[in-house]
């Protein structure tokens, strides 16, 4: 579990940055790493000379200067030792402890040679229901310095940054090479001041952009541009000035090289900004810096590894945030203006999660995976279109097109940024669903390219119908429902015509799915999603006045479920039956047959989330999901045999995608069957909790979090086919299942049903407001932190709750309001 992380937690990279903005990450030693400001995946990308340093002068002897990182950790195996740009030869602090509670990171540094103590708080605002407020291409880096001595100490902290604009590559010495000519300028906007980094690149260049390193602090000094040259002249002069005086001055000359023009030398331009405070004994002083950036362009196409046709990829399209700001300096000024408000809201959100009664491992899972939404995996186009990869390879997006079968599992965005999910539904139903209902499960039309010509995906396609139901219920937006209905209806009908070979309402044809292969015959993964989609579809059809359709779909769900249950339930769990497949399935690879598929009740999980109840017999569901835990959860994988990709190993615990306790493992089972995926683990854990198997569910969650302990893996990056993998956003299901939360904007009804006994408190959101709920015995308290909502009914654990000194229905809860309710006696 993510606790206090020492400097040896080398896997840690805590992402800073907003939705669709790109990132820079914070390592456990306090170092900035993984410079992905442009929004392109670039794990391990370094930016030379970009770091913070402290200088403390007691007036007694020489000042003490240190890089504001704890010491570099082994191995020290670079092919040139550490590159000059890493400044590894400057002294660092003896040790540090990091605590990350997304979106806040906190690092305490320790060093006996320093007369003061110093800590860092870093974050980028995240405000539920406000995607723009959560999409600042900026981060706060706030150093808190305490003087525990009996004498005043003069302390300076300097931030240095290499101009990041126009980086085209890296040379053998790991210095960036540039397109265009980078330039650094000192600016003072009154409210903030600092160094602006831009370039002479044309505005339509993919590399065009800017960055600003600013401070609101007037007690600052700057060296806007280090001397540059063949060697380390600039770093030497910067460091010697800073370590002796703590203050910075502009260099008189650009370079000390005689008679050589800038074009012949490096284009690297480093600038530094320092803040100096005299700190009295016992006092604390804040040194605040902000880094903002602006890289407005991206290719108008995926250029992905699935190899879509990308006819427009040669032109650029602007990012959504580019429409909100003029450049990085504009970001800095507007960020400063809004920061108080944004930070307060972010802290409220943080508190609602981290001071909830949810188990620590669940808070950890729910919060840490939110990084997906603010990683390079997700982005928004100029017109607001939300799009995403499945994940991010180290230096390329992984698997393009907002893949429906991977995003099928994701719950977090639906409850925090529902406008993004609604946008994804529009793409799916308005752009990617053909008249016959065949949906391309990867979108290409958002870039104006042709639809992708490939099999439809049964789980992803039918899942979009359930997710549409989720979005509609949460927003209460009937117009939105009507807008996409034709496509949604066709996508659902497609199942009857293309996946059900014999009209018995059990899907049994060749079905492409999230395992990247085709299932044949009948399986409960596809069918449970089908039944949930039918029930969701029926609800929506009814709302839109299509009563006959609704009745037909409900009937299909009921008869199909009965038949499938009879066909596949083996007394313990649901198997796959290949009877209907060609040759009875002989010769088919990549099936699972008698295996225990962890995902066998995916549709039931999705149905629970959206309040559709059991789509299959409750006792069979409970037996099957218990069997998944019993057979597929391994407390150690040391004797597990898998020739597939590996996400859990050695003595780690994890939930296998499949196992064959009754024998019958195919010679070549489906291609990921022996793997462990956090997205499936969260899905199954949530479902276990929904079925009352809370301990089992939490056991799985603890296994995931134990694997992401900062030493083995990054707590803020769950990997599947790429970093920041979208499926991990299933984690929000844990919060939903443990709180029994549901909000129905259509009926203005809010519901909680805590899965664990005792006092309960938790974050909650509706389509228009968010805040906290606290339940203790008969008393319920609702606090709205932001937004407003009108309630007709509040149900807790199946009982109606009545407000104290107010009445339902029609109770209006405004921002900052708090209402107390008591539960009616049954």
Lookup: tokens for 314: 């040669």
Instruction: Please report whether residue 307 would count as binding its own copies according to CB under 8 A.
Output: no
Task: Kindly tell me which of 6 and 152 has the beta carbon lying closer to its own copies.
Answer: 6
Strand partners, 783: 772, 818
Stretch that binds its own copies, among 360-368, 640-648, 767-775, 813-821 (CB under 8 A): 640-648
Enumerate residues 410-449 that contact its own copies by CB under 8 A.
none
Task: Kindly tell me which of 82 and 480 has the beta carbon lying closer to its own copies.
Answer: 82
Tokens 């126009």 sit at which residue?
166
Enumerate residues 489-528 that contact its own copies by CB under 8 A.
517
H or E stretch at 556:
helix 547-568
Enumerate residues 744-803 that contact its own copies by CB under 8 A.
none
Task: Kindly tell me which of 315 and 646 has the beta carbon lying closer to its own copies.
Answer: 646
Kindly tell me the sign of the dihedral angle through the C-alpha atoms of 517, 521, 525, 527: positive
Lookup: tokens for 294: 């602006």
Q: CB of 676: closest distance to its own copies in angstroms? A: 9
Enumerate residues 324-383 that contact its own copies by CB under 8 A.
none
Q: CB of 87: closest distance to its own copies in angstroms? A: 6
Q: CB of 766: closest distance to its own copies in angstroms? A: 36
Q: CB of 319: closest distance to its own copies in angstroms? A: 23
* CA distance linking residue 701 with residue 722, whole number of Å: 21
Interaction pattern, residues 212-251, with its own copies; x per rule: CB under 8 A: -------------------xxx-xxx-xx--x--------
Q: CB of 112: closest distance to its own copies in angstroms? A: 11
Q: Of 126, 144, 167, give the one whose Cα is nearest residue 16.
A: 126
SS3 for 422-471, per residue?
Answer: HHHHHHHHHHCECCCCCECCCCCHHHCCCCCCCCCEHHHHHHHHHHHHHH
Per-residue buried b or exposed e for 90-129, using 16+ beta carbons within 10 Å of the residue's own CB: eebbebbbbebbbbbbbbbbebeebbbebbbebbbbbbbb
- Over its C-alpha atoms, the chain yields an Rg (Å, rounded) of 28
Q: CB of 302: closest distance to its own copies in angstroms? A: 14
Instruction: List CB contacts of 540: < 8 A, sequence separation 6 or more.
Output: 468, 469, 472, 481, 485, 488
Enumerate residues 389-408 that contact its own copies by CB under 8 A.
391-394, 396, 398
Stretch that binds its own copies, among 276-284, 364-372, 719-727, 763-771 (CB under 8 A): 719-727
Instruction: List CB contacts of 294: < 8 A, sequence separation 6 or more.
Output: 137, 209, 210, 211, 321, 322, 325, 326, 327, 328, 330, 331
Strand partners, 213: 195, 291
Pairing of strands 793-796, 749-752: parallel
Lookup: tokens for 521: 């015959």
Q: CB of 512: closest distance to its own copies in angstroms? A: 14
Q: CB of 737: closest distance to its own copies in angstroms? A: 26
Task: Kindly tell me which of 502 and 667 has the beta carbon lying closer to its own copies.
Answer: 667
Tokens 């540039």 sit at which residue?
178
Enumerate residues 10-39 that contact its own copies by CB under 8 A.
10-11
Residue from 177, 323, 650, 815 binding its own copies (CB under 8 A): 650
Interaction pattern, residues 194-213, with its own copies; x per rule: CB under 8 A: --------------------
Instruction: List CB contacts of 236: < 8 A, sequence separation 6 or more.
Output: none
Q: CB of 102: closest distance to its own copies in angstroms? A: 18
Q: CB of 709: closest distance to its own copies in angstroms? A: 9
* CA distance linking residue 540 with residue 684, whole number of Å: 27
Residue from 284, 559, 644, 822 binding its own copies (CB under 8 A): 644
Tokens 């609704």 sit at which residue?
550
Residue from 168, 191, 286, 668 binding its own copies (CB under 8 A): 668
HSE-up (13 A, CA, CB side) for residue 774: 10
Instruction: Please report whether residue 643 would count as binding its own copies according to CB under 8 A.
Output: yes
Q: How many CB atoms lie within 10 A of CB 792?
A: 13
Task: Kindly tell me which of 74 and 314 has the beta carbon lying closer to its own copies.
Answer: 74
Instruction: Please report whether residue 719 would count as binding its own copies according to CB under 8 A.
Output: yes
Is the Cβ–Cβ distance between 784 and 777 less than 8 Å?
no
Q: Is 731 exposed, middle or buried (0-12, 13-18, 19+ CB in 10 A)?
A: buried
Q: How many CB atoms lie within 10 A of CB 558?
A: 15
Give the number of residues written for the chain. Answer: 826
Enumerate residues 674-703 that contact its own copies by CB under 8 A.
674-675
Lookup: tokens for 530: 């089908």
Residue from 586, 639, 758, 805 binding its own copies (CB under 8 A): 639
Residue from 146, 206, 256, 544 binding its own copies (CB under 8 A): 256
Enumerate residues 39-98 that contact its own copies by CB under 8 A.
43, 65, 71-72, 74-84, 86-92, 94
How many positions of this chain bind its own copies (CB under 8 A)?
Answer: 74
Task: Kindly tell me which of 86 and 198 has the beta carbon lying closer to its own copies.
Answer: 86
Helices (H), 246-327: none
Q: CB of 567: closest distance to its own copies in angstroms? A: 28
Enumerate residues 159-178 that contact its own copies by CB under 8 A.
172
Task: Kindly tell me which of 235 and 762 has the beta carbon lying closer to its own copies.
Answer: 235
Q: CB of 1: closest distance to its own copies in angstroms? A: 16
Task: Kindly tell me which of 26 and 607 has the beta carbon lying closer to its own copies.
Answer: 26
H or E stretch at 350:
helix 328-354
Phi/psi region, residue 103 (left: phi>0; alpha: psi -120 to 50; beta: rest), is alpha
Enumerate residues 589-618 that contact its own copies by CB under 8 A.
589-590
Q: CB of 418: closest distance to its own copies in angstroms? A: 29
Task: Kindly tell me which of 217 and 675 has the beta carbon lying closer to its own copies.
Answer: 675
Lookup: tokens for 491: 């996508």
Q: CB of 57: closest distance to its own copies in angstroms? A: 16
Q: CB of 259: closest distance to its own copies in angstroms? A: 13
Enumerate residues 546-575 that contact its own copies by CB under 8 A.
none
Is the Cβ–Cβ distance between 792 and 747 less than 8 Å?
yes
Task: Kindly tell me which of 231 and 338 has the beta carbon lying closer to its own copies.
Answer: 231
* CA distance linking residue 712 with residue 719, whole number of Å: 12
Helices (H), 127-196: none
Q: CB of 402: closest distance to its own copies in angstroms? A: 19
Q: Of 458, 345, 395, 402, give the one whose Cα is nearest residue 44.
A: 395
DSSP 8-state secondary structure symbol assigned to residue 281? T
Enumerate residues 100-119 that contact its own copies by CB under 8 A.
113
Task: Kindly tell me which of 158 and 755 has the beta carbon lying closer to its own copies.
Answer: 158
Task: Kindly tell me which of 113 and 635 has the beta carbon lying closer to its own copies.
Answer: 113
Stretch that binds its own copies, among 402-410, 437-445, 464-472, 665-673 (CB under 8 A): 665-673
């Amino acid at each position: 579990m993510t606790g206090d992380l020492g400097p040896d937690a080398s896997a840690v990279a805590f992402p800073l940055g907003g939705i669709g903005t790109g990132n820079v990450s914070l390592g456990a030693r306090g170092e900035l790493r993984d410079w992905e400001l442009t929004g392109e995946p670039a794990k391990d990308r370094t930016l030379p000379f970009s770091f913070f340093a402290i200088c403390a002068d007691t007036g007694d002897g020489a000042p003490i200067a240190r890089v504001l990182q704890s010491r570099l950790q082994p191995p020290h195996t670079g092919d040139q030792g550490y590159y000059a740009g890493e400044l590894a030869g400057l002294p660092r602090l003896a040790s540090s402890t990091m605590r990350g509670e997304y979106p806040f990171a906190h690092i305490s540094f320790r060093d006996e040679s320093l007369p003061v103590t110093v800590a860092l708080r870093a974050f980028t605002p995240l405000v539920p229901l406000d995607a723009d407020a959560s999409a600042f291409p900026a981060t706060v880096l706030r150093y808190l310095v305490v003087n525990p001595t009996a004498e005043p100490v003069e302390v300076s902290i300097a931030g240095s940054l290499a101009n990041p604009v126009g980086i085209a590559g890296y040379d053998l010495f790991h210095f960036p090479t540039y397109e265009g000519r980078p330039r650094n300028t000192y600016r003072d906007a009154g409210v903030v001041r600092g160094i602006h980094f831009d370039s002479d690149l044309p505005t339509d260049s993919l590399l065009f952009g800017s960055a600003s390193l600013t401070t609101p602090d007037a007690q600052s000094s700057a060296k806007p541009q280090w001397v540059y040259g063949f060697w380390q002249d600039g770093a030497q002069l910067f460091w010697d000035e800073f370590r002796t005086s703590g203050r910075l001055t502009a260099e008189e000359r650009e370079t000390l090289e005689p008679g050589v023009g800038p074009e012949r030398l490096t284009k690297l331009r480093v600038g530094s900004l320092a803040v100096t405070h005299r700190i009295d004994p016992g006092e604390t002083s804040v040194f605040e810096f902000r880094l903002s950036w602006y890289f407005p362009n991206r290719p108008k196409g995926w250029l992905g590894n699935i190899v879509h046709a990308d006819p427009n990829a040669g032109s650029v399209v602007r990012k959504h945030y580019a429409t909100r700001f003029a450049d990085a300096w504009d970001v800095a000024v507007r960020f400063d203006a809004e920061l108080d408000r944004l930070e307060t809201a972010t802290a409220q959100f943080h508190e609602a999660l981290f001071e909830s009664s949810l188990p620590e491992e669940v808070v950890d899972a729910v919060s840490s995976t939110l990084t997906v939404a603010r990683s390079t995996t997700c982005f928004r186009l100029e017109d607001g279109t939300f799009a995403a990869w499945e994940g991010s390879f180290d230096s390329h997006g992984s698997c393009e097109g907002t893949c429906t079968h991977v995003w099928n599992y994701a719950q977090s965005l639906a409850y925090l940024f529902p406008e993004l999910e609604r946008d994804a539904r529009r793409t799916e139903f308005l752009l990617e669903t053909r008249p016959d209902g065949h949906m391309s499960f990867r979108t290409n039309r958002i870039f104006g390219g042709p639809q992708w010509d490939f099999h439809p995906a049964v789980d992803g396609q039918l899942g979009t119908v359930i997710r549409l139901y989720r979005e509609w219920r949460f927003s209460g937006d009937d117009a939105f429902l009507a807008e996409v209905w034709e496509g949604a209806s066709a996508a659902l009908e497609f199942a009857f015509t293309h996946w059900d070979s014999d009209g018995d309402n059990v899907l049994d044809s060749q079905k492409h799915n999230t395992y990247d292969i085709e299932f044949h015959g009948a399986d409960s993964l596809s069918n449970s999603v089908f039944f949930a989609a039918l029930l969701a579809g029926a609800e929506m059809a009814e709302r839109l006045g299509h009563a006959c359709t609704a009745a037909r779909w409900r009937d299909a769900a009921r008869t199909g479920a009965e038949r499938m249950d009879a066909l596949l339930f083996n007394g313990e769990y649901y198997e796959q039956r290949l009877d209907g497949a060609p040759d009875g399935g002989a010769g088919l690879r990549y099936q699972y047959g008698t295996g225990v598929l962890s995902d066998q009740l995916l549709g039931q999980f999705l149905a629970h989330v959206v309040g559709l109840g059991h789509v299959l017999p409750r006792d069979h569901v409970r037996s099957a999901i218990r069997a998944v835990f019993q057979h597929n959860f391994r407390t150690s994988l040391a004797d597990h045999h898998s020739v597939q990709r590996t996400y859990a190993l050695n003595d780690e615990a994890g939930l296998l995608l499949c196992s064959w306790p009754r024998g019958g493992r195919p010679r070549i089972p489906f291609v990921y069957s022996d793997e462990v995926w956090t997205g499936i683990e969260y899905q199954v854990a949530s479902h276990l909790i929904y079925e009352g198997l809370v301990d089992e569910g939490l056991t799985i969650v603890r296994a995931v979090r134990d694997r992401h302990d900062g030493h083995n893996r990054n707590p803020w990056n769950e990997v599947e086919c790429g970093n920041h993998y979208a499926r991990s956003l299933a984690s929000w299901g844990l919060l939903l299942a443990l709180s029994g939360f549901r909000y129905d904007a259509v009926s203005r009804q809010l519901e909680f049903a805590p899965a664990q006994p005792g006092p309960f408190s938790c974050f909650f959101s509706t389509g228009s407001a968010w805040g906290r709920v606290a339940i203790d015995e008969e008393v319920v308290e609702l606090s709205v932190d932001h937004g407003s909502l009108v309630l007709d009914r509040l149900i807790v654990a199946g009982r109606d709750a009545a407000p104290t000194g107010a009445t339902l229905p029609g109770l209006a809860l405004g921002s900052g309001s708090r209402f107390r309710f008591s539960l009616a006696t049954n």
